[in-house]
Structure 1
Amino acid sequence: MTDALRVPAEYREFAKIEDPDIIERLEKWKNNSIETLQRLQTRVQQAQTSLSIKETADIVAAVTPLSGAGNWVSDASHAYAHAILQELKVPEPTQSLVAHILLHNVKPVFRANAHPSINPQTGRKLPRPAGGPQATQDLYDSQTWKDHPGVDLTVLWCVQHIPTNAYDEVWHLVVPPLMTLLDDYEAQYKLAGVRIAAAMLDSVPGSLLKRTGVGSLLLEALNRSILVLDSPETPILLPAAVSASLALIELTTTAGSEERFAQLCGILGDSIIGSVWPYSSNRIDALIASIDALPSIFAVLSVGCARYFKVLMAQLVYPLAPLEHQQTTVELQIASLRALTALFRACPQRIAGWKGTILNGVARCWVDTVESPSAENDQVRTELKTVCRDLAAVCPTVQQEEYPQLLALDQTLFSELIQDTKI
């Protein structure tokens, strides 16, 4: 029964299929999978705890690819897949079950495409890539694992059920598929790898990441994921990669250490400011995604943000009142305003010196939204008022100096903008 649920390999490049016979065959499989899942659910309910570990493992491996999003998944199959996985959680999945799935259902899928930087027997980082200078290119040859659409969801399910104290035992089974996904050249697989990494970082011991050298490999791979700017996955991939990077840094470095500061600066200074922003002037989705990621970085970097204040202010203020040659959108304005308020909280000591620059952009943006009323601009106005309120909280002098000046210019126009302050 589980064999009938194996996702056809053609779904690997479903968007490129033009042959109507193949499309019809795939659609038939998709519809038939619903009936198969129904029968499988009945089988699981009747069997209760009598299923062997192999039977349970095969069921998980067959059902998890249908528990996520994909061209091979319908609403009905998705619902049945989740229901079956819930049935199998009584009792909670055991360590031996997870190890069995990784060893017998996942490892064979990825065996032909071994990651050149990982020892497949130990899960440790190799001192030098196996296969020499062309090793990375070899990783991209054939890629038979892609003929198993949804296998990443099986890996994710396993990682979500590995207890902290069990990682040593399955490390060599988890790391190879994770790094293969993360270092793939296609963004959809990178995103799958980032999601698995994020789940792993919720429970993996930081000492294991450092001891095996995988922590540094993981950080490098996540940083490369941040730099994917031309993909439909970019708006999700970039913030997700930043979030996972921050979790990794927190897990493997000491608070207040030079190592942690350097790695955080690597994300903000090298990856976002130095690599994303110079190449995203015509990639508005990538730019918005990078700014959406800033508040979480600011919260961890704190006063360290002062190193980048000049470029941060330029980037966050310009969308509010762009010059003629600059591009902006409502989404970019809202993201920038939220990042500004996060910067106020992270580094209030430096805000006073930039209050004029901030208020100039805020006031100009406010005028534009008032002159062009719309539901979208209502959202912008809400964020503008929040900026003014939070600015007054970290820089009280604006209430005695700049805010009265705004009211003197046009009290009717600007009174709503600063009504939430204590002026």
Structure 2
Amino acid sequence: MAIVEEVSEEEHTGQPGPRSAGELLRVVQELSKRLALPEDLLPSFLNEDKPGAAEPELRLKLRDLASAALEIYKDHAISVLRQIQSHVGTSAWGGMSLENQATVMLDVTHLYGSDPWTSQDIKRMIDGKHWCNWVTLTEELSLSMDRPAIALHLLTHPIRTWFANPHPMLNPETARAMARPAGGSDAMMDFQDAPSQPWKHAAAWGCHNVLRWSVSQLDAGQVEARIGVILPPTLTLMDDWEPPWRGRGVSVMESWVNQLDEITMKRMGMDRLLLNSLLHTLELHPSPPLPHVLPATLRLIERTTDGANKAEILAEVMQKAIVSGWTYAPSGPEGRGVLVEIAKEVEKMCDVLGTGIARWLKASPTIVPNLLSPLQYPPTPAVALHFKANVSALLYVMRTLRETTRVSRWRGQILDVLGRLWVHLVEREKEDRAVGGDRSDGDDSGFVAELKGLVRSIVVELEKQCPDMRNDELQRMVQLDEGVFGGLIRVSA
């Protein structure tokens, strides 16, 4: 297990601080090096998503074992950051060279993210927001450090070294998109070969955080002027073969892309290059999912497309993010997490497309059958999130299409599946009462009540859109078994 060297609060604050830049450099570099992630925690991060690195069960066990050490490390990191903070803003700090200040910030900004080894408290401490009544590290640094200059130094030195291998779809001189990959059809495979990816080596841990912090320090003019050192590493991350790295690349992209105007993006061919990468990521449906990719894609589409082109790309989003996910999602618990995310994405696409979502009521595979299909099985705690996500998405689709007549053709299938689900829920509720809530499967009766509420809402919505159901299907269901269906139908009868 990781061993983190303990650093006392008084180690550097109990004596007068360094008076010269040279003395301070030795002190803060010693401190910043103590922020390095312990070596035995690095493999679990660097290999966490490589196929064959570990079976899912073993991977989970390794993560559990590492979690305690990571908590110790995070406490240690905050202690070290406090001590660095006590030295910045001093006259000695102001006397340090740009390169030396950048060396310290390189070690600090490895922690600027949402990774297992960092926390929101650490990020806020670096990010320039008040936390626990301390003046934050970045605010102190800004007193005696040109942050954009430090950021540019990091972009043009360590980051450029890590990402030295040119991206096949970018002109290495201008960072403009190329029509065909340099090196031919196999260029992307060669590009992703391990020896050409030093940014994945242990020495570059947290490289995406350093990149993200650096670009977040630049204004719009600086981003445009330095796009040649910003776009290549961002796109390298976004096009990686491992989905988690692609997700990290999307987070980096989001930190600078809004600084560029649409004309510049289109002139460089960057808009389509980024969209192609995002669309491919949506099609991968990794486990765990990457929920921030679809919103990022939709924002970029909104900024860079319009008219028929926008409609075509949104249709491509539906196909890759949702339809292909239903077709190719893995089975078992891993697949359920993917399907839960797809159901949430259906709701997001309803907001974007409005009644245009009706197109996918008749396309194959269609929305309604795919949302209903898992609901035919008995509800258990293991599938509770999946059931709730699908029922919620179905209700969202129905409300989106309320002013159309498109839902009525599905009323029989909806009522059939949800009627069966209601029977399962009523039976499970009875079983819970019989055993006093002490079930071997770890049941939480709360999910039953929540699901019942969602099913009732769908029946109410269905009746609003198909009023003749009141004296037809709904009445027959109550007549069939009022004890079971009375609780479902009476709210709309």
Structure 2, unmatched stretches of 5+, are 1-28, 48-52, 55-65, 129-135, 430-444
The 1:121/1:397 distance shift into structure 2, 3 A limit, reads: farther
Return the match for 2:172 from 93, 117, 120: 120
Alignment of 1:177 with 2:233, yes or no, is yes
1:14 matched to which residue of 2?
44
Aligned-pair CA distance for 1:125: 0.6
SS in 1 for 2:176: coil
**Contact 2:234–2:252 at 8 Å: present in 1 too?**
yes
Give the residue type in structure 2 aligned to 1:181.
L
SS in 1 for 2:487: coil
| Deviation digits for residues 166-206 of structure 1 (CA, Å, limit 9, x no counterpart) | 43222222211111111111222112112223344555433
SS in 2 for 1:130: coil
Between stretches 45-54 and 239-248, larger displacement belongs to 45-54
Give the residue type in structure 1 aligned to 2:226.
V
Q: How many angstroms apart in 2 are the aligned matches of 1:121 and 1:420?
A: 67
2:409 matched to which residue of 1?
353
Alignment of 1:293 with 2:335, yes or no, is no
Alignment of 1:236 with 2:266, yes or no, is no
Alignment of 1:264 with 2:314, yes or no, is yes
Bigger relative contact order (CA 8 A; separation at least 6): 1
| Deviation digits for residues 377-416 of structure 1 (CA, Å, limit 9, x no counterpart) | 2222122223233434555554565444433333443343
Q: How many angstroms apart in 2 are the aligned matches of 1:262 and 1:397?
A: 37
**Contact 2:279–2:320 at 8 Å: present in 1 too?**
no
1:7-406 equivalent positions in 2, closer than 5 A: 7=37, 12-14=42-44, 36-44=80-88, 46=90, 50=94, 54=99, 57-70=102-115, 73=117, 79-80=121-122, 82-86=124-128, 87=136, 88-89=138-139, 95-111=148-164, 113-141=165-193, 142=195, 143-147=197-201, 148-229=204-285, 231=286, 234-237=287-290, 239-254=291-306, 257-273=307-323, 275-280=324-329, 282=331, 283-310=335-362, 311-322=366-377, 329-348=383-402, 349=404, 350-373=406-429, 374-399=445-470, 401-406=472-477
Moved over 3 A (4+): 2-12, 14-18, 26-36, 45-60, 67-71, 78-82, 89-101, 158-167, 198-204, 389-412, 418-421
Aligned-pair CA distance for 1:108: 2.4
Q: How many angstroms apart in 1 are the aligned matches of 2:174 and 2:349?
A: 33
2:10 matched to which residue of 1?
none
Q: How many angstroms apart in 2 are the aligned matches of 1:31 and 1:316?
A: 44
Aligned-pair CA distance for 1:268: 1.2
| Deviation digits for residues 200-241 of structure 1 (CA, Å, limit 9, x no counterpart) | 455543333322112212122122212334x5xx2332x332
**Contact 2:111–2:123 at 8 Å: present in 1 too?**
yes
Structure 1, unmatched stretches of 5+, are none
| Deviation digits for residues 320-368 of structure 1 (CA, Å, limit 9, x no counterpart) | 2249xxxx92222111112112212333311122222222222211111
Aligned-pair CA distance for 1:159: 3.9
Aligned-pair CA distance for 1:295: 0.9
Between stretches 201-210 and 180-189, larger displacement belongs to 201-210
Give the residue type in structure 2 aligned to 1:263.
I
Aligned residues: 401
The 1:351/1:8 distance shift into structure 2, 3 A limit, reads: same
| Deviation digits for residues 218-277 of structure 1 (CA, Å, limit 9, x no counterpart) | 122122212334x5xx2332x3322222122111112xx21111111112124531x322
Give the residue type in structure 2 aligned to 1:103.
T
Between stretches 155-164 and 342-351, larger displacement belongs to 155-164
SS in 2 for 1:417: helix
**Contact 1:155–1:196 at 8 Å: present in 2 too?**
yes
Structure (1 or 2) with the larger CA radius of gyration: 2
Give the TM-score taking structure 1 as reference length: 0.82
Give the TM-score taking structure 2 as reference length: 0.71
Identity %: 26
Give the residue type in structure 2 aligned to 1:267.
V
The 1:131/1:371 distance shift into structure 2, 3 A limit, reads: same
**Contact 1:321–1:361 at 8 Å: present in 2 too?**
yes
Q: How many angstroms apart in 1 are the aligned matches of 2:487 and 2:192?
A: 57
